[in-house]
Amino acid sequence: DIQMTQSPSSLSASVGDRVTITCRASQDISNYLAWFQQKPGKAPKSLIYAASSLQSGVPSKFSGSGSGTDFTLTISSLQPEDFATYYCQQYNSFPITFGQGTRLEIK
Amino acid sequence: EVQLLESGGGLVQPGGSLRLSCAASGFTFSSYAMSWVRQAPGKGLEWVSVISNSGGSTYYADSVKGRFTISRDNSKNTLYLQMNSLRAEDAAVYYCAKAPYSSSWASFFDYWGQGTLVTVSS
């Protein structure tokens, strides 16, 4: 199975900050990497697919980059609604696997 | 608007069975593959199973293979997960998730439901 490791596990930031979350795959997954956001009690929301393609309706403050084994999610100009848990997911091969999540908290 | 509404969760004893349902609306259900993903309390996400748009192709995580069965009824726009021989480690919130493609091959998910809680305890 492909292991997905996110860092950091938690992150404190202020409104208006720019933050970057990293996701590393245990083997080459090309660009088969997605990012999504989860808030407590809510359905997860897709943000990015194919490492850098923005899902329809997602604001451009979210951006993704990377290929192979190393990927990043950057969120610019943080707003209160952005504080949530973020996950990466590889879909290069079965079983589909997820990172452990990065909890973004308000400082 | 795409909506996925899971139901069927609840308390079941170890060794018992449960069938989850996911009612879909807002898109042409029969055109897209669908998956189940679960999240144990306080834990990360685990992909469980996928089914192609026609239902002719399915894949399972090793942890549920032989115990869980994914199926769909395209006439009812509904996805199912039959869970047998349940174990304590199967306790989780179960989400249905829509793939952007028809094929059952590995994919990201463009829409998720809000989940249904399964508790396995005596």
Q: What is the pLDDT of residues B5-52, one digit of tens each?
A: 999 999 999 999 999 999 999 999 999 999 999 999 888 899 999 999
Q: Mean pLDDT for chain B?
A: 96
Per CB-CB distance under 8 Å, the chain A contacts of B64 are: none
The secondary structure of residue A96, as a DSSP letter, is P
- The pLDDT score that the predictor gives to residue B102 is 85
Q: How far is CA A27 from CA A15, A23, A92, B60, B107, in A?
A: 35, 12, 10, 21, 17
Reported as a pLDDT band with limits 50, 70 and 90, residue A41 is: confident
Residue for token pair 């403050």: A61
Q: What is the pLDDT of residue A43?
A: 86
Among residues B59, B92, B96, the alpha carbon closest in space to that of B81 is found at B96
Chain B residues near residue A42 by CB distance under 8 angstroms: 114
Min distance A18 CA to chain B CA atoms (Å): 25
Say if residue B104's pLDDT is above 90.
Answer: no
**C-alpha A90: how far from its chain's center?**
11
The alpha-carbon gap from A71 to the nearest alpha carbon of chain B, in Å, equals 16
pLDDT at B105: 83
A32 touches chain B (CB under 8 A): yes
pLDDT(B121) > 80: yes
Print the SS3 string covering chain B.
Answer: CCEEEEECCEEECCCCCEEEEEEEECCCHHHCCEEEEEECCCCCEEEEEEECCCCCCEEECCCCCCCEEEEEECCCCEEEEEECCCCHHHCEEEEEEECCCCCCCCCCCCEECCCEEEEECC
Residue of chain A with shortest Cα separation from B109: A46
Which pLDDT does position A40 carry in this prediction?
87
Give the one of A43, A93, A98 whose C-beta lies nearest to B106's C-beta: A93
| Dihedral (Cα; B113, B119, B120, B122), 10-degree rounding | -160
Q: Where is A94: in which H helix or E strand? A: none
Interface of B with A in 69-108 (CB under 8 A): 95, 97, 100, 106-108
- Do A36 and B109 count as a contact with CB atoms less than 8 A apart? yes
Q: Which of B61, B107, B110 sits opposite A55 (nearest CB)?
A: B110
pLDDT digits (tens, 9 = 90+) for A74-103: 999 999 999 999 999 999 999 999 999 999
Chain A and chain B share a number of CB contacts under 8 A equal to 57
Strands A45-49 and A53-54: antiparallel
How far off is chain A from B109, nearest CA to CA, in Å?
Answer: 7
Q: Which of B3, B1, B34 is nearest to B101 (CA)?
A: B34
Interface contact flag, B47 A44, Cβ < 8 Å? no
Nearest to B47 among A45, A55, A95 (CB): A95
Spell out which residues of chain B touch residue A89, defining contact as CB-CB under 8 Å.
Answer: 45, 108-109
Mutation target to probe the A interface, by most A beta carbons within 10 A, among B104, B108, B110 is B108
Burial class (CB in 10 A: 0-12, 13-18, 19+), A44: buried
